[in-house]
Structures are given as structure tokens and as C-alpha cells.
Structure 1
């Protein structure tokens, strides 16, 4: 039977491997030298550095376990001649389905987990147990128990396992909101299957996103405590021995630790775990808006003093935000009194709020602050779709220094670019590589619906709307794949006519 690790998958992001499994290595500790006579007193911060965390880890390590997941698969035995198009045409797909089945094999995955209740509930990663038919949990005392998945949540990459046991050592959950950049962090898990290992580092950053999945909810604690494959689902703890995160991912060019690891905050894990244990699923709130980050150029276009908040680029008709009075172009600056720094902050805050809750949303509209009470709906399961298309460009139009070819929306263009949700605007049919449009991120198939809050349906209207920008970037409302977003564009100066 063949072996393949399926629990710790890798993704390439910007030339790096984003390993959905976590890391180990050693962190250079601070050596304490003997203080000589007359030596200057150590500063208060230095006095807080410990020579050893053995006492803390003696309480932590018994509650960190190894999780081994397996499933049976059977690979199809491919007959080479069935790749011949003529034979497929003659015999059809039915013959291909009747070809001999390949050898059965067992896929095995390795990860870690954290015991959070004495009666056997264990936190780990969704990707560690996803699709598993059998789960074995190896306790720190040498026992191996059979585990059962109580619930698993892909958007947060969290899962809860239950083993039949009592009196298990438990790792207390800390308050991850109180974690500060620079705090010492200890990672515990079973990297590469070598056995339980402890590594040390600091909290490098908070609120990180990796973009491993479009539908994920990410608010990672970043740490340089080394983590590798097998650490997934293991513990990130503070110096009081409290769980502050569940190790989940690393960023690496090779798949091994380079000191960039990510852990799911304990507060998020606590919320997800509570719902999985109670109902086996996670319910999340939904505001009913499309949002994007406020960049410096967008802030300038909107007349804002700072690039903060979440810009509403679309409002779902009849949804919670629409019923409450929110509009496209609003900038959400606070949710239930908590500041919104970017769109990820808002997504996570809304997702943590239960459906049916009346939430207070603070927005900036026309440079005035307004508040709305929004009763959240329940976020449905989203489905991905591929809207990529390549079509020949139409005739070049003078787009006022944008470096674009555009054409008015028509049935032919709707069919070419699959623009089912577009009803008005100018279709981008070509983007010059070094043009202002490309620099701003415009793409072929985008539909420019508005420029500086003015609807555009032909090039003349586009040129007229661009003149209203002055020295600010032109603010474009773009329909991309059925979703609306604002794009700030700085037109290049036009050469004088000759």
C-alpha cells in the first residue's frame, strides 16, 4: 500500500510555499552572563527574561497530542490507448469507466492537537482531519486512542475531535486579544513525526492574512517560533502556559520553517469550537455588502483624511445592509463600537456575530459620520466560479490617458466576456501593459459603470467624467465577475495634438 501525506497541503503564494502545516526549529535565546562586580543594573525588561520555561512546559506538554489520520483510496489504472481521441469517439466514456481499477492504497496524514476538556475534546486543524476515515490520537503518556470528528470548519481551518477518556490534562485557553507583538511564544507539536518538540520565538505580528483560501476567515498571529509539517493543530502558548493560538500555516520557499508561521487566535478557536461541539457546524453573520480596503488613492478620491476602514463597493438588494440604509460608497469605520481598520477586520467581526443580532455600523458618507442599526442575516455557503475569458480587443478609443480599449456594453460583448450581471457601462476589451489602467489593476472584461460617481455608457461620457478629477485619482466603479469594486486610477497626461 502506497503512502502519501494528504493532511498538510502546500500552496505557492508569490513564489513561496504556503504550507498548511506547521513548524519547528530553534530560536536563539538570550544568554545570561554572570554579572560582575560593579556591573550596571539590568533594565527592567531584561530582568523579565527567563532562563528556562521548563516549569511552564511541564504543564503544557501533557495536553498536546499527536493526530494521525488515514483513508483508503484506489487509483484508476489508466490504459494509454484510451487517450486516443478516435477511440474515445468510438467507444465513449463508458468504456473508460470500465477499465481495471488500480491498487488500493492508504493515505496517511500527521498533525498535532490540543486537549481542551478533561473528557476528551481536542482542537486541531480542519486540514489535518479532512476526509479522514480513521483517526488515532497519541497522548503524551503513551496511550493511543481512537478519535472521532465532532465537527470541522474549513473557513477557519479548525476541527474538534473527541476521544473516549476522562481525567485528561487540559491546556487552558488564554485571551488572544491581549497578546502583544514582542511577547514570547512557545510552539508545541510533533514536527515531521519526530516526537513532541518545543520551540520558542516571539509574536511577530497580529491580524495577518495569507489568502490560502478565498472563503477563509483569517486573523492570524504571526510568530517566528519554528514550526514545520506535523505542527499543524498544535499549540502556541504564552509564558503563563495558556493557549493563545492553534498553529496552522507557514510561509516558506522550501516547505521548511524560515521563521514565518501563523496560528489561529485562541479566541476565534474558542468560538468555533463551542459551535462545533454544540451543533456540529458554524453559523456566521452576514451584512450583505461587497467591501474593499481603502487605499491611499481611494482615500484621496473620496476626500478622506486617512486610508482606513472598509469601502462599500456594492450592497445586496433586499439584504441586511440595504434594508438598514447603507449605500455604495459608504466607508465603514466601526462595527459595534470597535474600529474597522480594513475589510478583513470587518469580515471577521461580522462573521463572529450571530445571525439575527442587531449590530451598530458606523460609516463615513459625504465626509459625515452616520450610524445604522443592521440586523445580520446568516452567511450562506459560498461557491467558487471561474470568470476568466480571453477575447480579441475592439477598436482603440481615446480614454483620456487610461491606456485602455473600451466599448459600450452590448449583447455581443456580454456573450464574449460572460457579463451576465452587467446592465450598463463600458467594457474593457484591452489593457496596455504600461498604462494607467494596468497600474490600477483594471482587467479585460471589467465593466466601468461609473467614473467620479457619474454613470458612463460611452467614451464621451467617460472623458467628461475624467475631467472632474482634478489632481485626485479618478474613482471608477467597476463590475468584475458580477461583483462591484471601486478602483482609483490616475490618468496619464495626454500628448498635445499635432
Structure 2
């Protein structure tokens, strides 16, 4: 009779121990150490610091970007009546700006400081100053503010004429009261003359860098840490917003005029314009025997102001404007921008199509009257 021993042999014990050891290795939380550890990946080597151009650009310009706080005093028509509150009420506003001269010259948007009775300027290092508005230009939305200081950090100005779509764009400002906020994107387009409505005199830079209320007046900079634009407007669109900036070359030109005379000068020729389409041309041709327009896209003169530079230069209603100076134009905004690049009193060639004729007319722009 064979006896089966209940005591395992040495070989069986070793095999069983190995099997249990292998199984226990596949059970979570059974290994040595902290059972609550989420990852057991080996530690990786520290990343070597690289040259982040956004960080470098922000380090270069950031100290010169300021927050602008404004107070406007407005008349309350119900003040003192039936509990309608005080007759004079205060409205607070906020925007951004950037220092361009170490003695306290600051560029911002005209709409940031419009009507402000008090202007406060705060630097990223915490210093605060009372600001004085030296002048503003509502046509281009550029304003200059001055603070009494010396040795302030300044933002280098670039050349917006060299900006191309696809280049990096970095916005710095104080959106929604969040100081020194940095966002980045690319230049989506240049020369956007119809960005915020017809008849504008600004060839905007368009970018997809996030810009929000409070960013107005802050700088748009390139990857080299140079200001290429002044953030000024946004348009909401499905999926994302579109942001627009005043080219710094235009901002610099307007600021120089404000520093010299306290105001900006704009030439005008005195015409009312309309975008032309083939359909509109057919409708006009069918209803107006005196106006025969080519069935094309372009910009047509609707009215010439009596006694204006355009009238003296020979422009007429129904003229199709094709070129102003050396610039081809396709819409009213492009005509405005081209005229604005001229000088008051200097001859400006305006090429028009009048019926079957193509004419080159000489117009001398006059000073655009200021609106109160």
C-alpha cells in the first residue's frame, strides 16, 4: 500500500512559493511601499531650460505695461428727484496702456480715457501715478497720457509695416481687472480696413490672441519683444473671438502729432461713398438715366460736398474711384485710409472711371473739421 504523505516535499514547497510570489506581483496594492501611490513610473531627468521666446518677449515689455483707471463724472437727470440719487454720478472704467518714454509718456486708446475727469496709472511694480491726458484722437482711437516720473521702463516699438500673417502675436494687458495677463496667438491678417465698420481710417492688424475688456490700449508685441500694435477692438464669432489692433506705425504718427500740438490732423476730400456690387450697379443703371455704372465691385461716389476739395478737384457723383495716390481701392474704408496717408494741402491723384472715360483728377485734401 502506498502512502500519500500530507507534508509537501521540498520541491513542491519551492514551486508553490514561486507561484504565490508571481501571482502577488500582479495584484494592485500588494507591493511594498505606499498603497495609495497613483504612479510608479521612475522619476525622469529634469528638463533643461530652453529659450522660450514668449517669456523673453514678455520680460522685455511687461514692466512697461500699465493699468489705467478712470473716473467719469456724469450728470444724473433725476438727481435729487424722488430718490433718484445725486445729481452728479461717478462712473469708473479700466483699461491698459504702455510706456513709450522714460519720462512718463504712455500710449493707450482714446475710448479708455474719453471723458475722464480722473486718470490713475499703475505700474506692474506697484507704483501709482496720477495721469494727464495730453490729447486723444477718436478717429484712430489713439490717446497719449503723461505721468510725472523719470526713469520708467519703456516698451520698444517695432515696425508694423513689416508684419505678415502667420507671425507670432502676444497681447499683454489687464482684462477684466486681472493685471498683467499674457495671451498669445498669431497675426491672422493685416490691412483690415473693414474690421469694425465701414469708413474707418485704420488698417487694423487682426489676431487670434485672446483679448477681453480691459485689454484696450495695451500692446500687441512680436516674438522679439517689440510693440507692433495697440489692442483696440474685439468681435465675437462662433467658436472664437477676433481681435484687432491699431498698427504701431499709425499709433506713433498720431502720438507725435498729439505731443506736438495736442491734437491729430486728418486730411479729407469731402465725398460720401458707397460700396458697389454688380447687382447695385444694375439697379442704379435701371433707375437713374444720369448715372451709368460698370457692373463690378468697387467704390462709387454718392455725393460730393459743395465747396469741398473733391468738388474743386472735379469729382462728381457716380464716379467709380479706382485708385487714390498709388493705392488701388475697392471699398470706402480703403479710400479713407489712402486719403489719410496724404497731407493737408498736398496734391493727391484720384483715378476714377466716369462712364467710358478713365480720369486722373488732382485733389488737395483739407483739414478734417473737428467734431465736438
TM-score w.r.t. the length of structure 2 is 0.76
Q: Which residue is 1:121 aligned to?
A: 105
| Aligned partners of 1:208 and 1:222 also within 8 Å | no
CA distance in structure 2 between the partners assigned to 1:295 and 1:382 by the alignment: 32
1:188 to partner: Cα distance? 0.7
Aligned to 1:56: 57
Taking a change above 3 Å as real, the CA distance of residues 204 and 231 of structure 1, as seen in their structure-2 partners, is same
Question: How big is each residue's C-alpha offset from its partner over 1:389-418, in whole Å with a ceiling of 9 and x where there is no partner?
Answer: xxxxxxxxxxxxxxxxxxxxxxxxxxxxxx
Give the one of 323, 326, 344 matched to 2:333.
344
Please say which structure displays the higher CA radius of gyration. 2
Which residue of the partner structure matches residue 317 of structure 2?
Answer: 328
1:161 positional shift: 0.1
Tell me by how many angstroms 1:196 deviates: 0.0
Q: Cα 1:105–1:292, aligned 2, differ >3 Å: closer, same or farther?
A: closer
Are the equivalent residues in 1 in contact too, given 2:62–2:172 (CA < 8 A)?
yes
Deviation at 1:303, TM superposition (A): 6.2
* Distance in structure 1 (CA, Å) of the matches to 2:316 and 2:88: 56
- In 1, Cα distance between equivalents of 2:161 and 2:181: 26
Contact 1:181 1:205 in 2 (8 A): yes
Cα distance between partner residues in 1 of 2:359 and 2:233? 39
Cα distance in structure 2, aligned partners of 1:79 and 1:56: 55
- 1:377 pairs with one of 353, 366, 371: 366
Residue 120 of structure 1 and its aligned partner are, at CA, apart by 1.4
The total of aligned residue pairs comes to 312
Offset, 1:227: 0.8
**In the alignment, which residue of structure 1 is the partner of 2:91?**
107
Query: Structure 1 residue 341: deviation in Å?
Result: 2.5
**1:246 counterpart residue number:** 230
- Deviation of the 1:311 alpha carbon: 1.1
- 2:279–2:295 CA contact under 8 A, matched in 1: no
272, 275, 279: which one aligns with 1:297: 279
Gaps of at least 5 residues in structure 1 are: 1-49, 81-98, 384-498
After TM superposition, list the pairs within 5 Å mapping 1:27-176 onto structure 2.
52-73=53-74, 75=76, 76-77=78-79, 79=81, 102=86, 105-176=89-160
Distance (whole Å) between structure 1 residues aligned to residue 234 and residue 155 of structure 2? 23
Query: 1:338, 1:197 → 2: CA distance?
Result: 38
Alpha-carbon distance, 1:216 to partner: 5.3
Counterpart residue number, 1:26:
none
Aligned position for 1:178: 162
Name the CA shift for 1:336/1:311 in 2 (closer, same or farther; >3 Å). Answer: same
Shift of 1:157: 1.6
* Offset of residue 107 of structure 1: 2.3
Instruction: Write the distance in 2 (CA, Å) between the matches of 1:210 and 1:156.
Output: 13
Q: CA-to-partner distance for each residue in 1:2-33, whole Å, 9 max, x for gaps?
A: xxxxxxxxxxxxxxxxxxxxxxxxxxxxxxxx
Once residues 215 and 374 of structure 1 are traced to their aligned partners in structure 2, the CA distance between those partners, rounded to angstroms, is 19
Per-residue deviation, 1:334: 1.4
For 1:334 and 1:172, locate their aligned partners in 2 and report how far apart those are by CA, in whole Å: 35
Corresponding position of 2:246: 264
Contact 1:208 1:221 in 2 (8 A): no
Q: What secondary structure does 2:297 align onto?
A: coil
Contact 1:304 1:367 in 2 (8 A): no
